[in-house]
Amino acid sequence: MLNVPGVVTGLVATFVVIHVLRDWVLTQRGYVELLKQFSFVPARYESAAQCGVPDRLAVKAWTFISYAFLHGDWTHIGVNVVWFLAFGSPVARRFGALRFLLFFAVTAAAGAVAHLVAHPNECLPMVGASAAISGCMAAAIRFVFQAGGPLGLWRTHEAHAYHVPAAPLKTALTDPRILGFLIVWFGLNLLLGLGSLSLLGENQQLAWEAHIGGFLAGLILFPWFDPVPQANGVDPGPGGDPAAGLN
pLDDT higher than threshold 60 for residue 153: no
Q: Is residue 247 part of a domain?
A: no
Identify the CATH number of the domain in which residue 55 sits: 1.20.1540.10
Instruction: Quote the domain boundaries for residue 210.
Output: 6-225
Q: Is residue 235 part of a domain?
A: no
Most confident of 48-52, 107-111, 169-173: 107-111
If you average pLDDT over residues 152-174, what whole number do you get? Answer: 79
Q: Is residue 173 part of a domain?
A: yes
- pLDDT tens column, 198-222: 444 444 567 889 999 999 999 999 9
Number of domains in the chain: 1
Q: Is residue 239 part of a domain?
A: no
If you average pLDDT over residues 25-41, what whole number do you get? Answer: 95
CA distance 131 to 212: 7
pLDDT of residue 182: 93
pLDDT of residue 243: 36
Q: Is residue 236 part of a domain?
A: no
pLDDT of residue 115: 95
pLDDT of residue 28: 92
Q: Is residue 244 part of a domain?
A: no
Q: Is residue 1 part of a domain?
A: no
Q: Is residue 240 part of a domain?
A: no
Taking each helix axis from N to C end, the angle separating 57-66 and 28-38, rounded to the nearest 10 degrees, works out to 100
